[in-house]
Amino acid sequence: MTNSVISPLPGARPGRDPARAIKRGPRSMTPEAVAATQRERLYDALVHTVAEKGYVNARVSDICTAAGVTRPAFYALFAGKEDAFLDTYRHGTQVVLRMMDDAYAAAGDWRAGARAALKVLLDVLTSVPAFATMAIVEIDAAGPLARSDRTELLGRFARFFAEAPDVPEGLVDTVVGGVYSTIYGHVSAGRVAELPQLLPMLSYFMMAPFVGRDAAATELSAQAGGARVVAPCAVSDTGEVFH
């Protein structure tokens, strides 16, 4: 895995995280640092508020309260709720993609890399359930721009099939859509914690069109366990905070 520094995933921390309190006095933070800290806190607050209340019912005032940030400070950073949602979604999905890219690059071949990237996706979503709910389920209610962003994101997953054997045009999009639909079903049903258990089945589904059913069948007997990957600043199963 590369040594790239990856930002915390939105929703991995509470918005009112004491470690990010704005410092006042002679050693106060610069305006740029204050704005960056407020943006991060609003990312976290938006994820938790939208996951709890739903996008439609989440108000800017709710997000500001959860972040400990004033409404003027919110509107200095975002045009409104939709803009804040889009910015949070784009930032969060970029964090996840970078983690998947690192896992793919560290693997020995395409098949191992695609499986490793999928494991990262399932594990990271499980480590921050609020982000999974906000980014996968509530995005449906966030408007056409958000849905367009989701379509663009799904297209970017084709990078993990670039070295796979040739298949008919459009099949990669179909495979990606099937994996996403399965994840959506679990998240929308409140079964985020079960996502890592899907790794063998989804790996089989992902590989079969490229290597054949018999060759892909080994994925079904593989264990879904192994070291759990958690998002930066999320809490692992052992209670450790991942940095």
CA dihedral angle for residue 203, residue 89, residue 6, residue 239, rounded to 10 degrees:
-70
Q: What is the pLDDT of residue 140?
A: 96
Going along the chain from its start, the domains and CATH numbers come out as 18-80 (1.10.10.60), 83-221 (1.10.357)
Q: What is the pLDDT of residue 61?
A: 97
CB atoms within 10 A of CB 213: 10
What pLDDT digit, counting tens, does each position of 186-242 carry?
Answer: 999 999 999 999 999 999 999 999 999 999 999 998 765 568 888 877 654 444 444
Phi, psi of 23 (to 5 degrees): -80, 135
d(CA 150, CA 148): 5
Q: What is the pLDDT of residue 7?
A: 87
Q: What is the pLDDT of residue 241?
A: 46
Q: What is the pLDDT of residue 243?
A: 44
Positions of the chain with pLDDT under 50: 1-3, 236-243
From residue 213, how far is each of 156, 199, 203, 217 by CA, in Å? 25, 16, 12, 6
Q: What is the pLDDT of residue 235?
A: 54
* Adjacent-strand bridge partners of 235: 241
Q: What is the pLDDT of residue 223?
A: 66
* Adjacent-strand bridge partners of 241: 235
Q: What is the pLDDT of residue 2?
A: 42
